[in-house]
Chains A and B, each alone.
Chain A
Amino acid sequence: MAPSILHPPVQLSPAAALALSQQAPAILRSSPSTVSSSPLNTLLSGSEKPEQWLQYENLILSCLRTGDDQAAHACLRRLVARFGNDNERVQALRGLVKEAEAPDNGALENVLKEYNQILGENDANIPIAKRRIALLRSMGRLSDAASALVQLLDFSPTDAEAWSELSDIYLSQGLYPQAIYAIEEVLVLAPNAWNVCSPTIAPDLSPMLMQRPSQIHARLGELQYMAASAPGAANGSSQKYLAEAIKRFSRSIELCDDYLRGYYGLKLVSKKLLNDGVKAAKQTDDSEFVLPDTHTIERLNELATAKLSEIVRHSAANDRGWRGYSEAEIAAARELLADDASAIKR
């Protein structure tokens, strides 16, 4: 799919982002630099379109990314001319531009001070609060960012984007139960979206909702798996995590039946379970998930292996309908399969 200027450019490859930002001069030229609100003008030129402003916003993001600061400023000027200096989104975008241009840490500190000042005047300014958190995180002050996020989520607990960012921060700090809790919140807020945010690559909390095609179920499964294999996890709790991980991966495949990460995770977990030897521990209280029996795990493992090799084969041949998997994920899947094969040979 060709990148569209109307989608937030959060997950573009560098080449695609460059292509977008190279459109900037043409777009800036093709639309008028000021929008007059006089009735005569609206009569002649038709009404303004919301897409136009979205376009400017996204242009700012990709221009900043590719270093075209001039175009970013031009877009920002138009947004300011239309919405005024005090608009929350505009404030956040202006902050973003300043952050991007900051030469050193001192300048970033200044931006942070500005954010604090804005928040002091209006503490319900969510875009600025989010920018502040993102800035704190990119300055490496993880615990500050986490506590600011918790504060944000206290008064706005329906913000899936913030929850997923919180989960990511906790994950990077190794706090698995907290990360799992946060990602479960995302799931509660968006139970059917299978392409919502899981900010695994570039943790920038842009004021728009991030869209990353990674299923939250699978993400949750990954977290559970990581929690289970973390050193220090007690045997009982690790089994509990693995049981839920295998269910989460199964669910993600059930929702999208050629989802590579789901199969990968399923294979990983079932392999681990088979290698460790499943003790079909009789769970005393029935409230928690129990591991399925060995036979089921074996069958799941087979299914995942077969499906993974199918995906790898087809995408190596570049078949129609099998494109769009990320190169890195395919390579990882191939490696996992090869690992498996060599183990059998020995």
Chain B
Amino acid sequence: MITRRSLLKAAGTSAILVGGSHEFSRTVVSEAKAQAATLSLPTQLPEGTRQEAVLDALPGKQPLIKLAYRPPNYETPIELLRTAITPNDAFFVRYHLSDIPQINAQTWRLAIGGEGAGREMSLTFDELRQLPAVEVAAVCQCSGNRRGLFDPHVPGVEWGYGAMGCARWRGARLKDVLDRAGLKSEALEIVVAGTDNGAVDKTPQFVKSIPLWKAIEDTTLIAYEMNGAPLPHWNGFPARIIVPGWTATYWMKHVSKVDVVTRPFEGFWMKSAYRIPLGKFPVVSRFASQETAANTPITEMVVNSLMTSHTDGATVRAGSKVTVGGVAWDAGYGIDRVEMSTDGGGTWTAAALGEDLGRFAFRTFSYDVATPTKGSYRIMARATNRIGQSQVSALIANPAGYHHNVVQTLNLIAA
């Protein structure tokens, strides 16, 4: 069934549409069209993705690469990922469900409870802001970032490189909020729910759980600011969960409910979705209460890097040098080095690393490549973290298309 709420919302906003946002939308479309000429998509994406992806601006955002209008799934062009901090209006947007309410912070409440909590309580937005504030620079990356580059392709949102960004997130520690309600000794997982819903009643609401040990780390937050500004609507206004080091599936947007549970949470988005084969990836962080003999929830991000200074196939000047650079990140062990190869992976030389904004943040890197003669140059970048993990040279296949961290090759044409 169509939910009553969707229908009411539909009726209300349709009326507003008639009122006239046409002038605005024409401007947006023409700007997007002007830039669409320069939209450069990875050639490895499915042919259909390359046909339908366009630059398009959501309200309050720069033109991003639209993969799906509804629910909105927009990725950041690599040109906007050259800095350690991604601007709010360039930050990627990812939703599973299409009924996304506009929330008024003054009437918003965060409910805290569950059988593992000492008491039921709720917080207003002002009460949340009165708790000690913590700021963490951290990468938010969709589990399926680069899914579109899988060979063979797997179904899902066919992301290229840009379902990620890094921001300074400011908010209260989830731990401090949980302490106010009290944690029983048998508490096992923290269940977080947002306010977005499917268009039909039977669609499972997007609800996730986080193991208690991760939920009470000092860097796990309920954030209300992003790069010094309120969270954009499309990134979870008024508050979202921040789980530095872990993929964005746990970073619940528009969070409205936090429950302490004493048994493994059984929801669809834990039991059926966002799972990886057991033992295939070199991850340290485990979510033991959700593991089966075959698979486990995705947890921390794998070490990765992306050259963002040039698009693949770009033309550069021959008889000179070109500075190639980008960003590297991992699950919070910290980037140890980024190495570059211009001979197909035969030899590797260290790139210069940029400012360290903390172990969970993007780390910029740069490297000068000599281009003495005309012709093509192939440049590879490989990040290694402080616990010795490196990007892989061959894809680790998995059914849902997660954890793509294959070493990237950038082709430049010197002319």
Q: Bound pair: A and B?
A: no
